[in-house]
Amino acid sequence: MELKKFEIEGLSHIFTKTSLGQINESQSLIISVLSYFATSLFDKFTAESVLWDVTRNCISKLGLEDCVIYLFDKKKENLIQKAAYGNKNPEERKILSPIKIPSGCGIVGMVALSGKAEIVADVTKDERYIRDDLQRSSELAVPILQDGQVIGVIDSEHSEPNYFTSFHLCVFELIAELTAKKLSHIKQKSRNSFTDDNAYFKEFLHLLKVEKVYKDETISLTSIAERLNISPSYLSQIINNLNDSNFTDMVNQYRVEEAKSYLSHPDYKNDTVESIGYESGFSSPSAFYAAFSKLSNSTPSAFRKENLS
């Protein structure tokens, strides 16, 4: 998987050059993961929703067994479990038997105290290990830093020893940076906005104009979002804000223009209207007629008659 320019451009508004500079060509998967995390957090406006989204995505996108985010209490004496996914999360946004860890205690507490991430290959050989819900074998803990101060820790444990690698460490450190920035924006009550130079929107336009993905009748908001490595919700917001339409209407705009080029060209005068609809990406004649009428105030047959006479 090669590093994609539009993904780097999209993340450059969030991460520093130093942060992104540590990712090399062989670690391109990290960029894809970060793109999804960053866009998934775009419409989260409470600290709680941010933390739960991050832990959920750590499980779904990284294939981990569990993920827990701790934040310091007001006195910065104890780390409190604020969000979790895995065995600690039996119900939506609920933590099973939440625990608090004093600063400096356990692996999580020591990472919070030192401000340095740790990978523990075998927790059974580390006397600092604090068992929570289940006994596991390896652990990764990364501090969440805000203005140089530790505000919390992202922690993950796994049943296999030696499970966590430099890949996981790099991803977690960047996710921690992203989390801290998003929490800071929420505290400052600042909202991100969309602009026409949005890297993901420009890539979506490239897919439509150059690769003509609209000719595939099976494309969907989700499939295109997966191709761009962003959340479907974010893609929907981009289109709504920058094109003043929804995904289906925008795709159909390109399909209708494609159909018009066929309907008005003498080389295709013997092709049926229905076949032109299929060729342009519509899944059925009814969908073609409905979209064409909506976007052109005309029927395909009437348009052909007017432009071929």
Nearest to 233 by CA among 37, 14, 62, 63: 37
Tokens of 273: 């209207």
> pLDDT tens track of the chain, all 309 residues?
455 788 888 888 888 777 777 776 556 788 888 999 999 998 899 999 999 999 999 998 999 999 999 999 989 999 999 999 887 776 777 888 888 999 999 999 999 999 999 999 999 999 999 998 788 999 999 999 999 999 999 999 999 999 999 999 999 999 999 999 999 989 887 766 777 789 999 999 999 999 999 999 999 999 999 999 999 999 999 999 999 999 999 999 999 999 999 999 999 999 999 999 999 999 999 999 999 999 998 999 999 999 986
Cα–Cα distance measured from residue 207 to residue 230, given in angstroms and rounded to the nearest whole number = 15
Cα–Cα distance measured from residue 134 to residue 108, given in angstroms and rounded to the nearest whole number = 16
- Domains in the chain, ordered, with CATH? 41-187 (3.30.450.40), 199-308 (1.10.10.60)
What is residue 309's predicted lDDT score, i.e. its pLDDT?
Answer: 66
What is residue 218's predicted lDDT score, i.e. its pLDDT?
Answer: 95
What is residue 111's predicted lDDT score, i.e. its pLDDT?
Answer: 98
Residues 6+ apart with CB under 8 A from 226: none
Residue with tokens 């064409």: 292
C-beta of residue 84 within 8 angstroms of C-beta of residue 97: no
Distances in Å between the Cα of 43 and the Cα atoms of 36, 83, 183, 249, 293 are 13, 18, 12, 22, 34
Residue with tokens 């451009």: 9
Cα–Cα distance measured from residue 82 to residue 52, given in angstroms and rounded to the nearest whole number = 8
What is residue 25's predicted lDDT score, i.e. its pLDDT?
Answer: 58
283, exposed or middle or buried, with CB in 10 Å at 0-12, 13-18, 19+?
A: exposed
Distances in Å between the Cα of 118 and the Cα atoms of 81, 112, 113, 127, 138 are 18, 10, 12, 14, 11
Tokens of 295: 């976007």
C-beta of residue 122 within 8 angstroms of C-beta of residue 137: yes
What is residue 277's predicted lDDT score, i.e. its pLDDT?
Answer: 96
What is residue 8's predicted lDDT score, i.e. its pLDDT?
Answer: 83
- pTM equals 0.84
Residues 6+ apart with CB under 8 A from 300: 259, 263, 273, 276, 277, 288, 289, 292
What is residue 197's predicted lDDT score, i.e. its pLDDT?
Answer: 82
Amino acid present at 177: E
Cα–Cα distance measured from residue 186 to residue 266, given in angstroms and rounded to the nearest whole number = 58
Give just the sign of the alpha carbon dihedral 11, 16, 19, 22.
positive
Count Cα atoms within 13 angstroms, Cβ side, for 66: 27
Q: Is 157 helix (H, G, I), strand (E, B) or coil?
A: strand
What is residue 22's predicted lDDT score, i.e. its pLDDT?
Answer: 72
Residue 27: Cβ within 10 Å count? 16
What is residue 175's predicted lDDT score, i.e. its pLDDT?
Answer: 95
What is residue 19's predicted lDDT score, i.e. its pLDDT?
Answer: 79
C-beta of residue 242 within 8 angstroms of C-beta of residue 196: yes
Give just the sign of the alpha carbon dihedral 201, 236, 211, 308.
negative
